[in-house]
């Protein structure tokens, strides 16, 4: 019994070590892909960063493509859910919740200059590779549905204008966020993103129903 228990501990330890190795590879790959793009991402750089052998890499991922898929599924997708899905699973006023998510868009120079990881990879790989396109589409769809869902709730509660089309508005919000992100990346200037955030917030305010305005001290809509 004692020997079996020890062997069990060894197996659990090896499993956890393998899990940690895999996680290090995925995180290092995410950083390298963000820095260089998928096509130019260097497996040698990833291995050097993690101290993992090539054999261990191919134990976990049978190709660079498989590693890239893991980055989308386990890093980029969850980041989108953290920034744009979880904040909208709330009882707060829908427009306030959306404005809060927009105002939380990072504007640190290093992030603005690097751009949005989701948009970067979509621009690079979606025209070239169906596997990447479908995985990235899943992330975009989760974002779009979260925004559309909270706008539908706002309409049901009377706080969002009835003429707003939630699916269309959600797509427009994503286009504005990613568009301003691309402009800021191209300009290498956080001020462009900050101006974009102000403009997006102004647009979101315009989606409020007239019925919801008096409680905010606004009695007229220009």
* 32-64 residue pLDDT tens: 999 999 999 999 999 999 999 999 999 999 999
The set of residues, in sequence order, having a beta carbon less than 8 Å from that of 61 and lying 6+ positions away, is 25, 67, 70
Look at 16 and 83; give whichever has higher pLDDT: 83
The reported pLDDT for the residue numbered 14 is: 58
The whole-number pLDDT of residue 56 equals 93
Would you place residue 111 in the very low, low, confident or very high pLDDT band (cuts 50, 70, 90)? very high
Instruction: Please give the average per-residue pLDDT across 16-29, as a whole number.
Output: 91
For position 222, what pLDDT does the model report? 35
**Hey, where are the domains in the chain?**
1-62, 68-222
pLDDT score of 208 more than 50: yes
Tell the burial category of 114 from Cβ atoms under 10 Å away from its Cβ (0-12, 13-18, 19+).
middle
Architecture of the structural domain at 1-62: Orthogonal Bundle (1.10)
- Name the β-bridge partners of 160: 208
What's the mean per-residue pLDDT of the chain?
91
Mean pLDDT of 123-127: 96
Phi, psi of 193 (to 5 degrees): -70, -40
Distance of alpha carbon 64 from alpha carbon 70, whole angstroms = 10
Classify each residue of 10-25 as buried b or exposed e, where b means 16 or more C-beta atoms within 10 Å of its C-beta.
eeeeeeeeeeebbebb
pLDDT at residue 12 in the model? 47
Q: For residue 10, is pLDDT > 80?
A: no
Mean pLDDT of 155-167: 97
pLDDT of residue 210: 86
- Domain 68-222 superfamily per CATH: Tetracycline Repressor, domain 2 (1.10.357.10)
pLDDT band at 213 (very low <50, low <70, confident <90, very high): low
């Amino acid at each position: 019994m004692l020997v079996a228990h020890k062997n069990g501990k060894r197996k659990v330890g090896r499993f956890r070590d393998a899990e940690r190795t895999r996680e290090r590879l995925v995180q290092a790959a995410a950083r390298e892909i963000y820095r260089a793009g998928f096509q130019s991402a260097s497996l040698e750089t990833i291995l050097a960063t993690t101290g993992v052998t090539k054999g261990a890499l191919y134990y976990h991922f049978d190709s660079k493509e498989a590693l890239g898929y893991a980055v989308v599924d386990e890093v980029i997708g969850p980041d989108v859910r953290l920034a744009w899905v979880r904040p909208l699973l709330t009882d707060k006023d829908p427009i306030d919740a959306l404005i809060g998510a927009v105002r939380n868009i990072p504007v640190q120079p290093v992030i603005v200059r690097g751009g949005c990881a989701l948009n970067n990879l979509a621009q690079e790989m979606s025209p070239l590779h169906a596997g990447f396109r479908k995985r990235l589409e899943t992330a975009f769809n989760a974002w779009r549905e979260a925004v559309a869902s909270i706008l539908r709730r706002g309409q049901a509660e009377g706080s969002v204008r009835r003429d707003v089309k939630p699916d269309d508005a959600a797509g427009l919000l994503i286009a504005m966020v990613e568009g301003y992100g691309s402009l800021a990346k191209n300009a290498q200037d956080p001020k462009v993103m900050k101006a974009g955030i102000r403009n997006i917030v102004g647009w979101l305010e315009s989606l409020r129903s007239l019925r919801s305005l008096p409680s905010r001290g606004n009695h007229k809509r220009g």
